[in-house]
């Protein structure tokens, strides 16, 4: 992992360190997600069983998984025991493939994926081949990003985001820093499929470019708005070079310049819209990308962000970053519900902030034409530093990671005190939502933000359109709150059992937003992560005890979080890239689970 986390040992000496780095991440994920049952059916052996092992520098104590059921000879994977998210990790490349007693070394991702595809039918094997292309894109994009990181960090004023005068400038600074740090679990998140490496400099947050949006005039009968508020610098027709009289019959819709240049004409022709919309001759509204790439800050009205469809894929080949029209209304409904809940909870009121996501529009349900306007609570952020959880482990030009910088500024340099404050508020919020209101949020590392000021720590949540909500429980206990969800469009949000809420909490709040920090900070400090997990367990137990004392049923949560041997984890690579959705049965490729992760909280006990 880049930045705060050290590189895998030995990678810097590899012929291509970036390719070797991606290779290790991919093999670790194949083991974690038990792709083709490599971990569950693999047989554990030692080096004595492999005559070729010593020729590749493996010592007698090395353990190997013998995987003989892939139909491509026997694959031998050198492994080391682990307890974070999986039982085994790759020790180092190469893997070995045995065929008729002869051994071949598998040094690169292409060869390893080909071995894993083995005897699969051609259609299934094709997905492994396509994923190899994604791996190559990840290597290429990593090289470009790391070169930009070195260039930017060499500049004299890149180290201290706190020194920037405005909250929005500080937020963009830390989003840029976060852009250089890889996703903890999806191995090729560095790849923005659809972008060439040259497109990163034009549109990616690591480069912090500024560019202007393109505009379409769309007939009003095809334009379906939500809300009626627009940023103060939103253009009129004359601003984009069109006849002002068109305002009577048309509405303006922004288009990302990448889509405008590469895909818009084809989309229009396919939808039968090419003769019905008018392309504005002038660009307008200068923007800069945030960490999510397609969410753009309006540089002249920075409390407003616009989220636009973008025809790239991230976190898997199936994750195209268009905008599903239902998310426009659903995000606002859930944000309004959360606001009501926080105001009625004394321990959360004033401590949890939300963006306003009431405004947006789509064009005839087309996911490639539309936008969401996100307004930040600027009065409450005026003197604050806003940092996404995704950026906390990212290293700054000073050599500290962002979490250390926050601890230094707000906690007297006490990193444990910083982590305690973060854990206390995060767990109080999400456990209360789960156990009292039947709500689990997909508040991932990008959508969860820390807000630091002289008043201490608050949380800011955005983009809450993919929650899981037990609507039956919410309706019975809190009918007025449940009414906030009237008209909910994505039926996957509503669930009728406890397990989906637990899976969401475990995989997002616990693993992505907490455990990744425990591991990263322990690596940085050279300490055992068990001490961090003991701290997490104590905080979880304390919040559960408070909720139980208030009459909430905490038994299932205690069992899942503290007592079970295994935790659920997301099979991100499997569902988003390697297996067809029809085979997984997942209604959402980002919510396909297996209960394979060792429970680090139980170990800490």
127 within domain boundaries: no
Same domain, 328 and 438: no
The DSSP result for 508-560, as a single string, is IIIIIIIIHHHHHHHHHHT--HHHHHHHHHHHHHHHHHHHHHTT---HHHHII
164 within domain boundaries: no
For residues 133 and 441, give the distance between their C-alpha atoms in angstroms, rounded to a whole number: 32
Same domain, 439 and 537: yes
Same domain, 542 and 432: yes
126 within domain boundaries: no
**pLDDT tens digits for range 421-463:** 999 999 999 999 999 999 999 999 999 999 999 889 999 999 9
503 within domain boundaries: yes
**pLDDT tens digits for range 67-88:** 999 997 999 999 999 999 999 9
Same domain, 365 and 450: no
214 within domain boundaries: yes
Percent of the chain with pLDDT over 90: 89
185 within domain boundaries: no
Same domain, 413 and 561: yes
Place of tokens 């482990």: 393
The DSSP result for 358-426, as a single string, is EEEEEETTEEEEEEEEEE--HHHHTT-EEEEGGGTTPBPTTS-BHHHHHHHHHSTT-HHHHHHHHHHHH
Same domain, 371 and 381: no
Same domain, 355 and 384: no
Domain count, the chain: 3
**pLDDT tens digits for range 481-522:** 999 999 999 999 999 999 999 999 999 999 999 999 999 999
Same domain, 314 and 324: yes
Percent of the chain with pLDDT over 70: 97
pLDDT at res. 17: 95
Same domain, 423 and 542: yes
> Which of 190-194, 265-269, 277-281, 414-418 is predicted with the least confidence, judged by mean pLDDT?
265-269
- Residue 108, domain CATH: 3.30.310
Look at residues 351, 375, 399 and tell me which one is the last residue of a structural domain: 375
For residues 596 and 437, give the distance between their C-alpha atoms in angstroms, rounded to a whole number: 28
Look at residues 90, 121, 152 and tell me which one is the last residue of a structural domain: 121
Quote the domain boundaries for residue 57.
Answer: 15-121
Name which of 403, 388, 313 is nearest 3 in CA terms: 403
448 within domain boundaries: yes
Residue 336 reports pLDDT greater than 80: yes
6 within domain boundaries: no
Same domain, 447 and 557: yes
Same domain, 493 and 578: yes
Contact (Cβ atoms closer than 8 angstroms) between residue 581 and residue 575: yes
Mean per-residue pLDDT, 547-563? 98
DSSP assignment letter at 175: H
**pLDDT tens digits for range 458-489:** 999 999 999 999 999 999 999 999 999 999 99
* Higher per-residue pLDDT: 148 or 589: 148
Contact (Cβ atoms closer than 8 angstroms) between residue 539 and residue 423: yes
pLDDT at res. 5: 32
Residue 12 reports pLDDT greater than 50: no
The DSSP result for 284-341, as a single string, is EEEEEE-TTSSEEEETTSTTEEEE--EEEE-SSTT-EE---THHHHHHHHHHHHHHHH
- Residue 439, domain CATH: 1.10.510.40
Residue 353 reports pLDDT greater than 80: yes
Look at residues 121, 150, 175 and tell me which one is the last residue of a structural domain: 121
pLDDT at res. 96: 96
Residue 14 reports pLDDT greater than 70: no
- Can you name the residues that pair with 45 across neighbouring β-strands? 64
Mean per-residue pLDDT, 539-560? 98
Average pLDDT, the chain: 94
User: Would you place residue 15 in the very low, low, confident or very high pLDDT band (cuts 50, 70, 90)?
Assistant: low
User: Would you place residue 162 in the very low, low, confident or very high pLDDT band (cuts 50, 70, 90)?
Assistant: confident
Same domain, 363 and 437: no
């Amino acid at each position: 992992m880049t930045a705060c986390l050290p590189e895998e040992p030995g990678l810097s000496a590899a012929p291509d360190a970036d390719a070797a780095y991606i290779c290790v991440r991919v093999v670790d994920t194949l083991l974690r997600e038990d792709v083709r049952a490599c971990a569950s059916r693999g047989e554990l052996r030692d080096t004595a069983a492999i005559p070729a092992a010593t020729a590749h520098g493996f010592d007698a104590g090395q353990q190997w998984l013998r995987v003989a059921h892939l139909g491509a000879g026997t694959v031998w994977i050198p492994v080391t025991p682990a307890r974070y998210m999986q039982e085994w990790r790759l020790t180092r490349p190469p893997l070995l493939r045995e065929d008729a007693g002869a051994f071949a070394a598998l040094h690169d991702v292409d060869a390893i994926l080909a071995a894993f595809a083995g005897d699969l039918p051609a259609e299934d094997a094709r997905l492994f081949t396509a994923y190899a292309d994604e791996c190559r894109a990840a290597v290429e994009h990593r090289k470009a990003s790391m070169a930009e990181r070195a260039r930017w960090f060499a500049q004299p004023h890149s180290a201290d985001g706190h020194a920037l005068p405005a909250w929005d400038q500080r937020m963009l600074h830390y989003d840029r820093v976060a852009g250089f740090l890889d996703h903890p679990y999806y191995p090729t998140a560095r790849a923005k499929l659809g972008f060439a490496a040259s497109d990163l400099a034009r549109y990616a947050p690591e480069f912090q470019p500024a560019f202007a949006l393109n505009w379409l005039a769309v007939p009003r009968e095809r334009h379906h708005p939500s809300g009626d508020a627009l940023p103060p610098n939103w253009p009129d027709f004359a601003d984009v070079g069109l006849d002002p009289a068109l305002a009577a019959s048309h509405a303006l819709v922004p288009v990302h310049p990448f889509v405008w240049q590469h895909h818009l004409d084809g989309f229009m022709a396919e939808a039968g819209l090419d003769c019905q919309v008018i392309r504005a001759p002038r660009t307008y509204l200068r923007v800069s990308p945030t960490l999510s790439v397609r969410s753009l800050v309006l540089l002249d009205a920075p409390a407003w962000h616009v989220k636009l469809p973008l025809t790239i894929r991230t976190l898997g080949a199936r994750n195209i970053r268009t905008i599903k029209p239902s998310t426009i209304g659903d995000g606002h409904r859930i944000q309004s519900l959360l606001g009501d809940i926080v105001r009625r909870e004394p321990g959360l009121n004033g401590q949890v902030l939300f963006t306003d996501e009431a405004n947006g529009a789509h064009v005839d349900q087309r996911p490639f034409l539309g936008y969401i306007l996100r307004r930040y609570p600027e009065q409450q952020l005026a003197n604050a530093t806003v940092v996404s959880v995704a950026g906390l482990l990212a290293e700054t030009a000073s050599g500290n990671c962002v979490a250390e910088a926050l601890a230094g500024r707000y906690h007297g340099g006490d990193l444990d005190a910083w982590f305690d404050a973060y854990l206390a508020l995060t767990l109080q919020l999400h456990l209360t939502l789960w156990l009292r209101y039947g709500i689990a949020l997909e508040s991932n590392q990008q959508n969860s933000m820390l807000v630091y000021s002289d008043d201490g720590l608050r949380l800011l949540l955005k983009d809450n359109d993919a929650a899981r909500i037990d609507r039956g429980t919410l309706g019975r206990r809190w009918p007025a709150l449940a009414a906030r969800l009237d008209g909910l469009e994505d039926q996957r949000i509503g669930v009728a059992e406890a397990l989906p809420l637990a899976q969401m909490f475990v995989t997002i709040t616990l693993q992505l937003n907490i455990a990744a920090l425990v591991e990263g900070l322990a690596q940085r400090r050279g300490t055992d992560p068990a001490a961090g997990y003991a701290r997490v367990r104590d905080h979880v137990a304390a919040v559960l005890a408070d909720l139980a004392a208030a009459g909430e049923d905490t038994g299932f949560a205690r069992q899942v979080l503290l007592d079970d041997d295994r935790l659920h984890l997301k099979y991100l690579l499997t569902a988003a890239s390697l297996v067809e959705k029809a085979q997984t049965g997942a209604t959402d490729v980002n919510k396909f689970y297996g209960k394979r992760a060792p429970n680090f909280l139980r170990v800490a006990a």
